[in-house]
Amino acid sequence: MAKFKAGGLGVPFTLVVADDDPDYCSSVCLLLASLAATVTIVGRADGGEEALTLVLRERPDIVIADLLMPRLNGIELTRRIKEELPDTKIILMTGYTGEANRRLAFLGGADGFLDKTTLVIDLLPAIRDIVDSMR
């Protein structure tokens, strides 16, 4: 997969985006490209199993993944990534809002949680917080 260059958080980092909706996945990549200058998107995945394979191969700094994906959901994906690559930061996102999903995400090991309905507003600050924690 071609690497996408994006623009602007000061510290270079790599990222994988995973969502079972390919159009939404593309939208997140485009949003990142328009918001952040130092991110390299090393891959996109249409499901959890594909994401796990991609993450283990590319070893990105950050993974942004949908909470609910077929075959391997975001929480199980997070658990498996953290077993192999404990320093990888993971942001889970969902269109199903609610405190229960947020709690499940963090109990599963996620480093961040975003509501898809406010992703445009919340994505860059969430990534900035994670990048700051990596320094």
pLDDT digits (tens, 9 = 90+) for 101-112: 889 999 999 999
Strand partners, 44: 17
Residue 131's pLDDT is what? Answer: 78
9-52 pLDDT, tens per residue?
567 789 999 999 988 889 888 888 776 667 889 999 999 999 99
Of 111, 99, 109, residue with least CA distance to 64: 111
* CB count in 10 Å sphere of residue 87: 8
Could you tell me the CATH number of the domain that includes residue 38?
A: 3.40.50.2300
Q: Which pLDDT does position 5 carry in this prediction?
A: 37
* Token output for 120: 């445009």
Q: Is residue 97 pLDDT above 80, yes or no?
A: no
Alpha carbons 52 and 59: distance in angstroms, whole number: 10
How many structural domains compose the chain? 1
- Segments forming the whole domain that contains residue 73: 4-134
3-state SS assignment for residue 121? helix
Q: How many CB atoms lie within 10 A of CB 10?
A: 12
Tokens representing 5 are 């260059």
